[in-house]
Amino acid sequence: MSLAGTPPAATADRPAAERAPADLVAEGQRIFRFDTFGDEQFWTDKLGMNGVVEKNVDPTTALKVGLKVDAEALPPGILEKVDLKSPATTVALLKLNAVVGLQATVDSDNHITRLGITCALCHATVDNSVMPGIGRRLDGWPNRELNVGAIIALSPALPAATRAVYESWGPGKYDPRFNVDGQNTPLAIPPAYGLAQVKNETYTAEGPISYWNAYVAVTQMGGQGNFSDPRLGIDVKHSPDLVSPKLAALRAYQHSLPAPPPPAGSFDAAAAARGRVLFDRTCSSCHVGGTGTDNNSGTLHSPAETGVDGAYAARTATKAYRTTPLRALWQHPPYFH
- pLDDT given for residue 329 in this prediction: 83
Report in angstroms the alpha-carbon separations of 253 from 21, 53, 94, 124.
10, 30, 24, 13
One-letter amino acid at 129 equals: S
- pLDDT given for residue 330 in this prediction: 82
Residue 107, Cβ neighbours under 10 Å: how many?
9
Using only C-alpha atoms, the chain has a radius of gyration, in whole angstroms, of: 20
- pLDDT given for residue 6 in this prediction: 43
Angle in degrees, CA 142, 117, 82, rounded to 5: 90
Measured distance CA(231)–CA(148) in Å, rounded: 27
For residue 333, what is the DSSP state?
-
Q: Where are the domains of the chain?
A: 36-117
Q: Is 265 helix (H, G, I), strand (E, B) or coil?
A: coil
One-letter amino acid at 219 equals: T
- pLDDT given for residue 136 in this prediction: 98
Beta-strand pair 69-70/134-135: parallel
- pLDDT given for residue 16 in this prediction: 47
Burial of 173 (0-12, 13-18, 19+ CB in 10 A): middle
| pLDDT single digits (tens) 43-66 | 999 999 999 999 999 999 999 999
pTM comes to: 0.92
| pLDDT single digits (tens) 115-129 | 999 999 999 999 999
Residues of the chain with pLDDT under 50: 1-6, 9-12, 14-17
* Residues facing 70 on adjacent strands: 135
| Helix (H), strand (E) at residue 52 | helix 49-56
| pLDDT single digits (tens) 289-306 | 888 999 999 999 999 999
